[in-house]
Structure 1
């Protein structure tokens, strides 16, 4: 029985956990930028400088909403944990 444990593949030990955070960061940032692009694309009557401020504002708000609101409070609830 000990021989099987030595050769077993354990993903937690072989895959660095920080890469999941990097993948999540890239996905959240891409979604933020795409949503902001679509919203700012409808505001053609504004100057490019104002559109830039709106673009960064929307990107920042969605980003903060995910990391502080959704991930910080909703995904940290005890009911969502798989610990026994």
Structure 2
């Protein structure tokens, strides 16, 4: 029995950078929604201060994911499956 040379292998055909793009969009959406909910809880802020707080909190959540969680916690050798 011979091997078909035209077989579809998803790992070779799907570009790996798209997973990073999908992750970035999801993290950005979650950080924007969470930042919106957090800044709505503060009362008595003028719009300019509220905008700065909104973008600052969204940026902190985004950076916390990519630098803190993804950079240090998810890269631990304990989580690797190498034998």
TM-score relative to the length of structure 2: 0.89
Q: How does 1:4-23 map to 2 (within 5 A)?
A: 4=4, 6-23=5-22
Task: Give the corresponding residue for 1:35.
Answer: 34
Task: Give the corresponding residue for 2:44.
Answer: 45
Q: Which runs of 5 or more structure 1 residues have no equivalent in the other structure? A: none
Moved more, 9-18 or 57-66: 9-18
What CA distance in whole angstroms lies between the structure 1 residues aligned with 2:70 and 2:2? 39
Deviation at 1:7, TM superposition (A): 4.2
Deviation at 1:15, TM superposition (A): 0.6
How large is the RMSD of aligned CA atoms in angstroms? Answer: 1.5
What CA distance in whole angstroms lies between the structure 2 residues aligned with 1:55 and 1:42? 11
TM-score relative to the length of structure 1: 0.88
SS in 1 for 2:58: helix
Q: Which has a greater percent of helix?
A: 1
Deviation at 1:41, TM superposition (A): 1.2
Task: Give the corresponding residue for 2:57.
Answer: 58
Deviation at 1:44, TM superposition (A): 3.2
Aligned length: 83
